[in-house]
Structure 1
């Protein structure tokens, strides 16, 4: 799921003890224990796991660069055409692959070697960023070129992201999965916090500068991938069946697991609320006296809340049950949404908004650990793609809903409506038998 954040459901609690460890992936080491079986390797701590650090570090650098260009792209189009519509069109085209290509990308991620696929994605993304930088430097930029490169980079990012997420269980020990995912969450939140202002600063130095930096960050990621020793998938036979049959297999597997099916739908519902809330919170903040700088500070504090939640996720995981987490998270969001709806000063609003962002990573890590733990390696890309398509499909609807509510009813009424929606979701999570009786990860 995503948590409250502009990248998606804020896209997104308190974390349960990890579900019982699933059978180790093909090349994962067994958890440490008193020399039970001969030949058992000791588990390397995550901070000394060379392959994970290379994967994590390369992705962190490339995320920083791509986040910077999310600000630089609209600035570039505005400077090029002077049209806000063209800037919005460029953003829409860049995000379109995340909606259109998830399912086929998931099937191909399960069919092709994941590390090699990621290397090609980084190389082609670096080339695209270099093309934009070169065209900007030579004054040869055009809107069609920006749209083509933006769509291509967005498509490659879909493939890269699915492959990277599906690879994690193959580069860390099963007992480290929750910690690894929490580090990935922190990486993403940190990139948003640092990359957004960085993009504006670099663009101020020159139109080409953010895209040169972006190309270099992709090359850093590519270099790290070249030095990773482990494969990113278990041994598998060549894919059989048509693309449609393989996509249907991933969707069918997800549908047969009631807990994942229910939580995916809950994520979609909360993502809708979070995307609408992003606009509503900005208007509410100005209504209660926040300056434009104060609004920016509110979003920055919320990002820090998300980062703190990422770091707290493993600790919370050891103290809560998975079903309790799902129910508590939805009620926490409902209560905080009510606080936002009735807040009359910017400090209460900012604190409640940051708390919502804190809960998101706890939810992401908990559900992500459970889902990766029970999904067979050969299906991971497709199941991830199916869940992402279903949950993130609510994001454009949430954006549209937020705008409609603000136009027709005003910020305060819009916030009350979103609070009511979140209460309904919390009630649904509380009464759902599939949530209260979550199974263990055995027998995927």
Structure 2
């Protein structure tokens, strides 16, 4: 049997009165803010140490490599272990790992290899935390409020990114170690909030243990049997690759245009601000759009906007164009991820979510590497042309896909 879902009688209770959701959400506001601060500072730190975009791309790839190799084995473990404990251990391990960066910087022994290892471990903690949180959400929140909860999580993530970009640039300008100190403190605060969760988050499945590789394949098989989900996962994998590369391209393009660290942070903050506005809009819009329309429409919005990066290297304008691209992302997450979460049985949440993220997020390290290689080979302008071309092909593929055109046509609200 599966773990009990949140009782239907609580469906009419306002989401903010759901104690466990409020604790998890508020703790992650602080934690995500710290993560976004250090994410802004990390490429700036690498560029300050070596001046090499390729090195920055390498560290970015290390941070996202766990998305490719960590999700499949982590998914079955999330379904077997106590998810509350996974949340706590992930936060603590991430804090300890990131604490080594300012210490090494103060001692004058920080290297690109050290940053790459720290970024990898941090990314692995993020994988476990994300899977455990996704599996816990349907237990904490009634089914009728699940899309709203996902939208609130989008607001949380995008809002933290909005503040984290400028703060990361500002703190880095004051002291290169300061952004990472702030992130360590944010993880500590989030861990305290997790200690007060009451609900049992374990899957509660009496299935006999099976080999990890076989359990991981369970999630892949589930995705393969659902054509619309399969198409959505593969399409978002390509766009994730593109946007992972675009972030590094924008940082380098702004730097080449003479932007300071604070101006670069402001640019990334504007980018994230569009995502936060999109998250607020998605909480309302998801009731009126279908998964099929979302997949096709969002891809065409991105394909139309990416070429605009060619017309300027001014941080404010780059940030404004990024804000427009980011506005569409939350609608995809709320509609598709919500549709996905309602379809998947809770005792399979970890395995299926890990399989989907292996495919969709696994493209991110390739995006970081591609961004660094393209920047070194053809510069920021050439990289934008190449990435915009990939996005155009993706939009055409989404429109032509029989799985998308014949997929779910009902609204999600």
Alignment of 1:318-337 (within 5 A): 318-337=287-306
Contact kept? 1:119, 1:225, Cα under 8 Å:
yes
Mapped pair 1:177 → 2:115: no
Mapped pair 1:214 → 2:214: no
Contact kept? 2:291, 2:409, Cα under 8 Å:
no
**Residue 351 of structure 2 is aligned with which of 364, 368, 382?**
382
Aligned CA distance change for structure 1 residues 409 and 216 (closer, same or farther; 3 Å):
closer
CA distance in structure 1 between the partners assigned to 2:55 and 2:375 by the alignment: 23
CA distance in structure 1 between the partners assigned to 2:303 and 2:29 by the alignment: 32
**Residue 260 of structure 1 is aligned with which of 220, 229, 233?**
229
Residue 271 of structure 2: aligned partner: 302
Give 3-state SS (helix, strand or coil) of 2:80's partner.
coil
Give 1:387 deviation, angstroms: 1.4
Mapped pair 1:63 → 2:32: yes
Mapped pair 1:126 → 2:95: yes
Gaps of 5+ in 2: none
Give 1:404 deviation, angstroms: 5.0
CA distance in structure 2 between the partners assigned to 1:72 and 1:222 by the alignment: 23
Residue 292 of structure 1: aligned partner: 259
Per-residue deviation, residues 280-314 of structure 1 (Å, max 9, x unmatched): 55677799xx6526766543322211111011102
Give 1:369 deviation, angstroms: 0.3
Mapped pair 1:427 → 2:405: no
CA distance in structure 1 between the partners assigned to 2:323 and 2:391 by the alignment: 17
Residue 4 of structure 2: aligned partner: 26
Larger Rg computed on CA atoms: 1
CA distance in structure 2 between the partners assigned to 1:52 and 1:214 by the alignment: 22
Mapped pair 1:225 → 2:199: no
Contact kept? 1:25, 1:169, Cα under 8 Å:
no
Contact kept? 1:111, 1:238, Cα under 8 Å:
no
Give 1:210 deviation, angstroms: 4.0
Contact kept? 2:61, 2:368, Cα under 8 Å:
no
CA distance in structure 2 between the partners assigned to 1:399 and 1:99 by the alignment: 13
CA distance in structure 1 between the partners assigned to 2:375 and 2:276 by the alignment: 29
Contact kept? 1:258, 1:434, Cα under 8 Å:
yes
**Residue 269 of structure 1 is aligned with which of 231, 234, 238?**
238
CA distance in structure 2 between the partners assigned to 1:169 and 1:351 by the alignment: 35
Give 1:122 deviation, angstroms: 2.1
Give 1:416 deviation, angstroms: 4.5
**Residue 168 of structure 1 is aligned with which of 111, 115, 137?**
137
Contact kept? 2:67, 2:362, Cα under 8 Å:
no
Number of residue pairs matched by the alignment: 404
CA distance in structure 2 between the partners assigned to 1:93 and 1:268 by the alignment: 17
CA distance in structure 2 between the partners assigned to 1:150 and 1:389 by the alignment: 18
Q: Which has the higher helix share?
A: 2
Give 1:116 deviation, angstroms: 1.2
Contact kept? 2:94, 2:187, Cα under 8 Å:
yes
The 10-residue stretch of structure 1 (349-358 or 321-330) with the greater mean CA deviation from structure 2: 349-358
Per-residue deviation, residues 94-115 of structure 1 (Å, max 9, x unmatched): 4332332111111111111101
Contact kept? 1:27, 1:230, Cα under 8 Å:
no
Give 1:236 deviation, angstroms: 1.3
CA distance in structure 2 between the partners assigned to 1:110 and 1:410 by the alignment: 44
Over the aligned positions, Cα root-mean-square deviation in angstroms equals 3.4
TM-score of the aligned structures, taking structure 1 as reference length: 0.78
Aligned CA distance change for structure 1 residues 198 and 239 (closer, same or farther; 3 Å):
farther
Alignment of 1:5-16 (within 5 A): none
CA distance in structure 2 between the partners assigned to 1:336 and 1:206 by the alignment: 35
Contact kept? 2:11, 2:142, Cα under 8 Å:
no
Give 1:426 deviation, angstroms: 2.1
Per-residue deviation, residues 33-66 of structure 1 (Å, max 9, x unmatched): xxxxxxx445321122111110011111112223
Gaps of 5+ in 1: 1-23, 31-39
Per-residue deviation, residues 350-385 of structure 1 (Å, max 9, x unmatched): 544322111111111111101111011111112222
